[in-house]
């Protein structure tokens, strides 16, 4: 391999792929990035065997094609500190790569590229297309409630469901549930569902841009996302996701309309006096008003209140304040609705006049 490439372009490409590099793996090769030079393009590949990222960039000049593997972290540090401009890369038969920019020269030792895990072939039979900005927004609105409990593998990922021409994204940790949906113009044939690992979801949130489209390829055990000069390939979680449609409340009669900012501030003020043992905030709702209180025997009491739109019987319900704040933090609209049945049933929070995003929060016994 012998080529010349812009430093900033190479730095950004390494940054795009290196976050999936495993630092704790027992396989040393998973700490490396595979670099293949061909047809005046340089393809970088990194994987942890669960999710892989490929990035293709154009070279300024290519005198010799070839393939090398280099330690991802060190390579990124080296390229980041090289002078701005063009980097000359030359690989030797001993798996060493020289990077030169001006008078600065580095030599990095690699490993045999044949030892690097082979990228799986992307199955392109079933696919659909979305704007990158839309998918990024939907992921952001639901990813925060993905479980991190290794004993409940079926909810440690995000459900992607294709149902009746709709794309639905659902996550839960067993105590709350987040739901987003979007009607597809050209959906793939048939209803289907897939559980995407949490790490893949977070990588997509990081990599997706606000412009252009993303093509999503689906198969029984794999999902791939192709956008810009990137390809993200991920295994799927082989498990059964909970029946989310049974969890989302329907037809609740008590409906509260609140200013998101006031709701959040009052909840945050009450949260200040909660503890690990008493992580509960009480919401008492009466016509025109919501009173938010906490009473921790070890710390003290707090009370705040604000005006709401509500006509009905007074009801009191307890929630984990962080669960409420997590929802309010990612809602864009200025007003939200809180729908309730009774103090023992889940509450439903959603943006006012927007049913595309819904959040179910389990109550805490008062």
Q: Are residues 242 and 253 in the same domain?
A: no
Instruction: Give the Cα-Cα-Cα angle 141, 144, 146 (nearest 5 degrees).
Output: 115
pLDDT at residue 23 is higher than 80: no
158 part of a folded domain: yes
Residues 240 and 341 both lie in one domain = no
Are residues 67 and 170 both part of a single domain? no
Is residue 359 within a helix (H) or strand (E), and if so which, with residue range? strand 357-361
DSSP state of 151: T
Distance CA 248, CA 348 (A): 8
In this prediction, residue 294 carries a pLDDT of 96
Domain boundary among 87, 115, 143: 115
Tokens of 155: 């909810």
Task: Assess contact for 284 and 293: CB atoms under 8 A.
Answer: yes
pLDDT (0 to 100) of residue 288: 97
pLDDT band at 176 (very low <50, low <70, confident <90, very high): very high
Both 202 and 218 in a single domain?
yes
Residue 121 belongs to some domain of the structure: no
Do 278 and 231 have their domain in common?
no
Q: Are residues 191 and 236 in the same domain?
A: yes
**315-336: average pLDDT:** 97
Q: What is the pLDDT at residue 251?
A: 82
**Res. 312: pLDDT tops 80:** yes
H helices of 55-112, in order, are 72-81
Which stretch of DSSP H or E encloses residue 270?
helix 260-271
Query: Does one domain contain both 85 and 165?
Result: no
| In a shared domain, residues 178 and 97 | no
104 lies in some domain = yes
Share of the chain above pLDDT 70, in %: 100
Q: Residue 250: what pLDDT?
A: 85
- Determine the structural domain holding residue 302 and report its residue range: 249-361
Query: What are the tens digits of pLDDT across the range 57-94?
Result: 999 999 999 999 999 999 999 999 999 999 999 999 89
Asked if the structure places residue 107 within a domain, the reply is yes
Q: Is residue 366, in this structure, part of any structural domain at all?
A: no
In 10 A of CB 53, how many CB atoms?
27
pTM of the predicted model, to two decimals?
Answer: 0.93
- Per-residue pLDDT, 246: 92
Within this chain, do residues 135 and 63 fall inside the same structural domain, yes or no?
no
Last residue of a domain, one of 205, 230, 246: 246
* pLDDT grade for 253, boundaries at 50, 70 and 90: confident
Domain count along the chain: 3
CATH number for the domain spanning 33: value is 3.10.150.10
How many helices and strands, by DSSP H and E, does the chain display? 7, 25
């Amino acid at each position: 391999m012998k080529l010349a490439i812009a430093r900033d372009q190479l730095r950004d490409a390494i940054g795009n792929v290196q976050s999936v590099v495993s630092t704790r793996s027992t396989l040393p090769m998973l700490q490396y990035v595979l670099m293949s030079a061909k047809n005046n393009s340089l393809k970088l590949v990194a994987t942890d065997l669960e999710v892989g990222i490929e990035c293709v960039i154009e070279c300024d000049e290519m005198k010799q094609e070839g393939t090398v593997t280099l330690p991802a972290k060190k390579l990124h540090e080296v390229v980041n500190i090289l002078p701005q401009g063009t980097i000359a890369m030359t690989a030797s038969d001993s798996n060493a790569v020289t990077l030169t920019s001006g008078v600065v020269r580095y030599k990095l030792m690699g490993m045999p590229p044949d030892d690097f895990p082979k990228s799986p072939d992307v199955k392109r039979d079933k696919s659909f297309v979305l704007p990158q900005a839309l998918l990024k927004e939907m992921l952001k609105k639901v990813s925060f409630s993905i479980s991190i409990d290794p004993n409940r593998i079926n909810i440690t990922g995000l459900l992607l469901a294709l149902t009746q021409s709709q794309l639905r994204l659902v996550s839960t940790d067993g105590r709350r549930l987040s739901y987003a949906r979007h009607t597809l113009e050209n959906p793939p044939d048939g209803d289907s569902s897939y559980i995407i690992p949490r790490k893949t979801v977070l990588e997509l949130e990081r990599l997706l841009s606000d412009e252009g489209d993303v093509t999503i390829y689906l198969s029984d055990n794999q999902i791939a996302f192709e956008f810009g000069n990137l390809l993200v390939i991920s295994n799927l979680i082989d498990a059964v996701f909970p029946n989310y449609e049974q969890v989302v409340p329907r037809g609740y009669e008590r409906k509260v309309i609140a200013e998101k900012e006031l709701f959040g501030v009052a909840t945050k003020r009450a949260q200040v006096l909660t503890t690990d043992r008493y992580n509960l905030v009480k919401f008492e709702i009466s016509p025109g008003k919501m009173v938010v209180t906490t009473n921790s025997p070890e710390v003290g009491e707090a009370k705040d209140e604000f005006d709401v739109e509500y006509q009905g019987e007074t009801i009191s319900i307890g929630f984990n304040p962080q669960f409420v704040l997590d929802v309010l933090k990612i809602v864009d609209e200025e007003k939200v609705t809180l729908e309730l049945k009774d103090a023992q049933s889940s509450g439903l929070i959603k943006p006012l006049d927007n049913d595309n995003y819904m959040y179910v929060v389990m109550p805490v016994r008062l």
